[in-house]
Amino acid sequence: MGQKKLVRFAEIETFPNVLQYPKDIAGNWHSHFTNTNSITLELACGKGEYAVGLGQLYPERNFIGIDLKGNRIWVGAKKALQNNLSNVAFLRTKIDQVAEYFSQNEVAEIWITFPDPQLRKSKAKKRLTHPKFLRLYKKILVPGGLIHLKTDSPDLYQFTKLVIELHGCTVHTDTDNVYQKENISEVLKIKTHYESLDIAGSNRIHYVCFSLPAQIPGKEKDEELKQLLKENEGAD
C-alpha cells in the first residue's frame, strides 16, 4: 500500500463524519446527525461528489456516502469537513451489507451514480439495480422512496429499465440523454469523477428515477430476467 493511502487511512480514523463498519447504528442515525431529518444514500459513492453536492443543495436533509474504499471516502469526507457540512457523513462497508446499517423506513432516497456496470452477463447479479439489491433497498427505504440511477453505461441503463418493467416498479423520470434537456435540475448538474472520465465512451448520460412496488416479485421473475439477458446480451 502506498504512503499516501496509509496517511489517508490513518486520517479518516479521526474524521467525525466517517463511520467504519459501525455497530448498533441501524435506527440510530438521528443520534449521529443530532436531528431527525430525512436520509439519502449515495451507494458506491467513490469520492462522494453526490453526497457532498446534495448536502450543499439541501442543508435541511442528511446524506450518507457508502463505499468500501477508504482512500476514496477520504476525499469526500475531507471536503465535507472543509465546507462545514454537518449533514454529510460516510459509511465504510460493502453495498450488499447496507441493510445491516439501517432500519426499516430509515432511508428516504438512494442515489446510484456511475457504478461499475458489470458488463459480463455472468456478473449481472453484481449490478446495483439487480433485483437482489432492490430487495435489500426495500428493507430500508420508506414506502415510495426514490431510487436514482445516473450512468454513462447504456447497457446498465437498459438493464435497469428491464428490471423496472419486470418487477413492477414505478418510473418517475427517465431520460437517455441528461444534458440534452433544456432545463437541467441542479441535482443532475452534479458531476462525479467517473462521469468526467466517460469510460463508456457514450458521450451521453442516462438517468432514471423509480420507486419500488409494495412487494417485489420473487425468484421466478429473476429467472425470467436471466433468460431475457441471455437472449438480448448474447454470450460472454
- Which sequence positions are flagged as catalytic? 116
Q: Which residue has the cell 457504478?
A: 115
DSSP the chain: --HHHHHHHHHHTT-TTEEES-SS-TT-HHHHHTS---EEEEET-TTTHHHHHHHHH-TTSEEEEEES-HHHHHHHHHHHHHTT-TTEEEEES-GGGGGGSS-TT-EEEEEEES-----SGGGGGGSTTSHHHHHHHHHHEEEEEEEEEEES-HHHHHHHHHHHHHTTPEEEEEES-GGGSSS--HHHH---HHHHHTTT--SS-EEEEEE--SS---HHHHHHHHHHHHHHH---
